[in-house]
Amino acid sequence: MGLLELKLAFAREESEKMRAEYEKVRVEQEMMERAWQIEQQKMELGVVSSGTNGGAMQSGIRGDISRLLPKMSDSDPLIFFSAFERTLSLNEVPRGQWSKLLGSTLTNKAHKALTALSISEMQDYDKCKRIILDSAEYLRRFRTSKRESGETHKMFKARLNDYLQYYIEAREATTFEKIYDDVLLQQLLCNMPTDVRNFVISKQPISADQASEFADLHSRMAGQTTGNLYQVATGGGIPRHK
C-alpha cells in the first residue's frame, strides 16, 4: 500500500470516528431533552418522581401550581426568575422540586442553553439558573436601575436586593472573603481602559489578583507592539531575538 493510500485510509478512519462522536453527542442531547419533556408532563399531571424510593410517585406538589407560574420572556429573564421563585415560595413548594417546574416556563433560547447539561445537572435549579443568566447582567441592573414611576422606595429596595442576591449567587461568592475580592475585582475593571478591560474580561479572571495580572500582561504586550512599530517606522526594523 502506497503512502497516498495510507493517508486516505487514515483520513477515512478519522472521519468515521468524528461521525460516530457527533452521533453520540446528538443522541445524548435528544435523551436529555426527552427526559426534560417527561418531567414537564409529570408536573402537568400533578405527580413528581421520587429519587429515594425506587421510582415511587408522590403528589406533594399540586397539579394546578403550573398554571400559577409566569412564563419567561427573553427580554427580561431577571423579572421572570424573581416572580417564579416568589410564586413557588408562597405556595411552599420544596426547592428541590423547582427544576421540575422550570422547564414548561422557559423560552426556546433558554432551553437551548440547557441542552449541554446532564440529566443530573438539570435537576439542580440553581445551576440551571446560572446557565441561563449572566452574572454581568445582574451587576449592570444593580448599578443602573432607577426607581420606576409608582414604585415605592421599599419596592425599589427589594428589587435592588434581588439583583444583588442573584449576582452573588451567580458569582458563587458564598463567603465574606469572596465577596470582598469580587468588589475589588469589579472596581479594578471599572478603572481599566476599555481595551484592557475587554482583554481581561475575555480571560474570565476568578480573582482580583488574576485580573491585575491579565491587565499587566496586556500592557506589556501593547508596549512591545508599540516599540516594534516605532522601530519599523524609524527604519530600525523589528528586533530579532537571539
Cα angle 175, 179, 182; round to 5: 140
Please report the pLDDT score of residue 32 as a whole number: 61
Please report the pLDDT score of residue 137 as a whole number: 75
Please report the pLDDT score of residue 50 as a whole number: 43
Contact 39, 31 (CB under 8 A): no
Helices 125-132/153-170 angle, 10° precision? 100
Please report the pLDDT score of residue 37 as a whole number: 59
Which three cell numbers mark 9?
485510509
pLDDT in tens, the chain (242 residues): 565 666 566 667 766 766 666 666 565 666 666 666 555 555 554 444 444 444 433 444 545 677 888 888 877 787 888 889 989 998 888 998 898 888 888 888 888 878 878 888 888 998 888 888 777 777 888 888 899 889 899 999 988 888 888 788 778 788 999 999 999 998 999 899 999 989 998 888 889 999 999 999 998 888 765 555 545 455 555 455 54
Closest by CA to 86, choosing from 70, 100, 74, is 70
Rounded to 5 degrees, what are φ and ψ at 146?
A: -120, 155
Place of cell 475580592: 181
Please report the pLDDT score of residue 211 as a whole number: 93
Please report the pLDDT score of residue 59 as a whole number: 45
Which three cell numbers mark 85?
421563585
* CA within 13 Å, CB half, 58: 11
Please report the pLDDT score of residue 122 as a whole number: 86
Closest by CA to 48, choosing from 85, 56, 123, 128, is 56
Q: What is the dihedral of CA 54, 56, 59, 64, to 10 degrees?
A: 90
Rounded to 5 degrees, what are φ and ψ at 49?
A: -70, 140
